[in-house]
Amino acid sequence: MNKNKLTILINKSIEEVFEFTTNPKNTSKWVDSIFEEKVDSLPVKIGSIYKNRGKNSKKWDEYEVIKLEKNKLFTIKDSDNNYYVEYTYRSINDKKTELTYLEWVEKGDLKDPFNQKTLQKLKTEIEKDLFLWRNQGGYLDIGEDKDDAIVDLMVIDDSMLCVTKKGIHSVHTADSIDPNRENPQIPNTKQKILNYGSDTFFVRRTILQARELFNQTYLPDNINCKKALSLALSFLKEITPIHESIEKYFIEEKKGITQFNGKTENDGSLKLPIVNNLDQQMKGFLISIDHAMSSIIDISKLFYPSIKNEKWNLKLLEELKKLKNKNKEIINFIESISLWIWLIRNLRNAIEHSQPDNKIIFSNYKLNSNGHVSPPTLLYKNKKIPLGETVVSKFMENVFEKLLMFFELLIAHLCSIHIQSFPGCRTQIVQIPFDKKTKKDCIRFKYETFADGEKNPIIE
């Protein structure tokens, strides 16, 4: 082979690439065979002589510059007028350059021609200062203020989540966005994905509790803890707008009560307050609750893949009853919650597809025969399990709490019966007593390992 041509893209301006490759002080940084290089005149011009030598060598090889166009072309030849090297530069944009390296001989074959690995080393050296910051320590300002401390860090779906007291932030490093380091201008990114953090009760009882329990150290490999944690985050994202809708409703209901003075008007009538679009608000609430249940179902499938969406809780019961060592606590728990699951699904059906024997009747503020004005209520008519007249605000609050409790206890029970055993000790999920909780222990359940023979706490 008497000719060798290589091309590479370098994330530097054409001026910087030209300067680096023509500066003799840089040559030994990327050409392994060269220990030292000098040039007889600066700035370099046509006729300038480059001299270089290898390590432990006293012999200097000489090369003359025969073509030179700044930021375009740089050509040299050896003292024997046989070996030539030419660099051609082409600007892609103000931050990227295409460099073509061409070497050839007039007679014979090339000896030790460069390869792509050599040019890659050149690229690395030129870009080193651009990407150096990615290898060094740094910091990101996360949180609203100095009191908004980071409570926990976790990786979910290729994103690092920072849970602070007042929010949850998604962080992506520059290397996760640009793993091949092709664009040195890519920064780290941060994004506040939820306005609620560890100071909020439903964050503690969902994602932080899941973070503790979905731990591959204690659970078998066939249970995908990363996926489970991702589903827990989905559940949290589903219930956050539910919580906000409850807060909004409470404000609206309180406003109606506050503005109501109880006095009749000039015509003798009593003007009652009203919650606007009561039925539509409740429709959105019940649909959202039903949607949130899908994340719980998917978590259950990670433990028992045969479970299907329809009547999933009953199929989960079947799987649990098949176990050699039946866990009465979780069986009783699923049986006790099954009626509530049925009620939520049927309430949604009733509000979307009302039937005479399955319908919800909403009442806004109304005057009772005793002279009192009652707040908005709902009444569920169903032959199997009717629901008596219930104040809407209390209903929403109770359903939300029940949903949280269901998620929290279900994952604790599922993890508890799948804990891996280790010789000489026993690991269990224990409940942290309320009076012993610290700022760090903002969750209800945790793993604890006991030596054989010790008394083992159980989930209460």
Residues 259 and 352 in one domain: yes
Residues 127 and 276 in one domain: no
Residues 158 and 70 in one domain: no
- What single DSSP character describes residue 436? G
DSSP string, 106-157: SSS--SS---HHHHHHHHHHHHHHHHHHHHS------SSSTT--EEEEEEET
With respect to residue 371, please indicate whether it lies within any of the assigned structural domains: yes
Kind plus residue range of the DSSP H or E element containing 27 = helix 27-30
Residues 109 and 257 in one domain: no
Q: How many C-beta atoms lie closer than 10 Å to residue 326's C-beta? A: 12
Residues 168 and 238 in one domain: no
Q: Can you say whether residue 198 is alpha, beta or left, with left for phi > 0 and alpha for psi between -120 and 50 degrees? A: alpha
Q: Can you say whether residue 6 is alpha, beta or left, with left for phi > 0 and alpha for psi between -120 and 50 degrees? A: beta
18 vs 135: CA distance, rounded Å = 26
Residues 16 and 84 in one domain: yes
The pLDDT assigned to 328 comes to 82
Rounded to 5°, the CA angle 341-342-343 comes to 90
Can you give the residue range of the structural domain that contains 352?
222-415
Cα Rg of the chain, angstroms: 35
73 vs 88: CA distance, rounded Å = 5
Residues 100 and 180 in one domain: no
* pLDDT digit string (tens) for the chain, length 460 residues: 899 999 999 999 999 999 999 999 999 999 999 999 999 998 999 999 999 999 888 899 999 999 999 999 999 999 999 999 999 999 999 989 999 999 999 999 999 899 999 999 999 999 886 777 787 767 788 887 877 888 899 999 989 999 999 999 999 999 999 988 777 778 899 999 999 999 999 999 999 999 999 999 999 999 999 999 999 999 999 999 999 999 999 999 988 888 888 888 889 899 999 999 999 999 999 999 999 999 999 999 999 999 988 889 889 988 888 887 767 888 888 888 888 988 888 999 998 898 888 999 999 999 988 888 899 999 999 988 889 999 999 999 999 999 999 999 999 999 999 998 888 888 889 988 866 555 445 789 999 888 776 655 444 4
The alpha carbon torsion through 349, 354, 359, 362 (nearest 10 deg) reads: 100
Residues 307 and 330 in one domain: yes
Kind plus residue range of the DSSP H or E element containing 69 = strand 61-69
What's the whole-model pTM score?
0.72
Provide the number of structural domains found in the chain. Answer: 3
Q: Mapping DSSP to helix (H, G, I), strand (E, B) and coil, where does residue 264 land?
A: strand
The pLDDT assigned to 439 comes to 46
Q: Identify residue 362 by its one-letter amino acid code.
A: F
